[in-house]
Structure 1
Amino acid sequence: MQSTAMRNSLFMEKMNGLLSNKKVAIAAVVMLVTALSMLVMAHAGTGGSSFKSVATRIEGWAQGDLGLAIVAGGLIFGVASMVFTGRGTVLAIVVGGAVALYYGIPVLVSIFAATGGNSVAKTLVVHGAHMAGVL
């Protein structure tokens, strides 16, 4: 019989050999992320009423006056940066951030709703598995 230390050592050697394959490692990470996201979605779908007021407040801030002030300040900074450096990358990043700020929260709410989240997670898993060459 093998000792526990010897079995653990053999197990770790097998896992190191298995995880050295990039496809297997990517598939394992995709499966882990999917499992965790489904756990979070299952928990979020069962009783999220306690955070509804906080979520509504944050969405109101992002799409209201606070979001507009953040976007305006970012645009002023982006235009000033573009004028002084001659490159428009900062301005493009700020415009992308403004779009993400305004439209991002409603998109996230619809993705992680109890009915829509599973189909998104399944699509991501299948696509990730195809990219890793598992399927």
Structure 2
Amino acid sequence: MEITNKANNKANLLFHVGLVMIVGLMFANQAHAGTGGTEFDDIWTTITDWTQGTLGRIIAGSMILVGIVGGIARQSIMAFAMGIGGGVGLYNSPTVVEAIMTATLESAEKIAPAAIQFSNGLGL
């Protein structure tokens, strides 16, 4: 009895997954990755200005100051290093996000033969 229930549950699950996939494919629109979203440009500019402007410097300085106080209280330089790391990370985070999101493969056609050689070892 238990074996047939498990088999029925698996068949039922596969049926429902297949049904969801078919319905999803029927109603799928053409994807436009990376297009649009310009309505959020003002928000991104504001966040970048905050983190790299006066507010970001105040917060980064506060992180460093709290790290110094924590380092003195714990008698360890590690809290100071964490404050420095947090401040530097806060200031540079918009630059890192921009670099990741706008990355391109400018030399892809030059390295493609070598990448194919490394991937399968046959050079085909």
Shorter-normalised TM-score: what interval? 0.5 to 0.7
Paired position in structure 1 for 2:91: 102
Number of corresponding residues: 87
Structure 2 gap segments, 5+ residues each? 14-30, 109-124
Say yes or no: does 1:8 pair with 2:6: no
Which structure has the highest helix share of the two? 1
Paired position in structure 2 for 1:66: 55
Say yes or no: does 1:52 pair with 2:41: yes
The two structures, once aligned, show a CA RMSD in angstroms of 3.2
How far apart in 2 are the matches of 1:56 and 1:105?
9
Matches within 5 A, 1:1-135: 6-9=7-10, 42=33, 45-113=34-102, 115=104
The offset of 1:4, in angstroms, is 7.8
How far apart in 1 are the matches of 2:5 and 2:45?
53
The offset of 1:8, in angstroms, is 3.3
The offset of 1:85, in angstroms, is 1.2
How far apart in 2 are the matches of 1:114 and 1:87?
39
Structure 1 gap segments, 5+ residues each? 13-38, 120-135
Q: Structure 2: which amino acid aligns with 1:8?
A: N
Q: Give the TM-score of the pair, scaled to structure 1.
A: 0.54
Q: Which has the larger radius of gyration?
A: 2
Q: Give the TM-score of the pair, scaled to structure 2.
A: 0.58
How far apart in 2 are the matches of 1:86 and 1:55?
39
Q: Structure 2: which amino acid aligns with 1:96?
A: G
The offset of 1:89, in angstroms, is 1.6
The offset of 1:57, in angstroms, is 0.3
SS at match of 1:87: coil
For the 8 Å contact 2:71–2:80, the answer to whether it is kept is yes
Identity of aligned residues (%): 30
How far apart in 2 are the matches of 1:72 and 1:92?
13
For the 8 Å contact 2:60–2:88, the answer to whether it is kept is no
For the 8 Å contact 2:60–2:87, the answer to whether it is kept is yes
How far apart in 2 are the matches of 1:64 and 1:57?
10
Q: Structure 2: which amino acid aligns with 1:106?
A: T
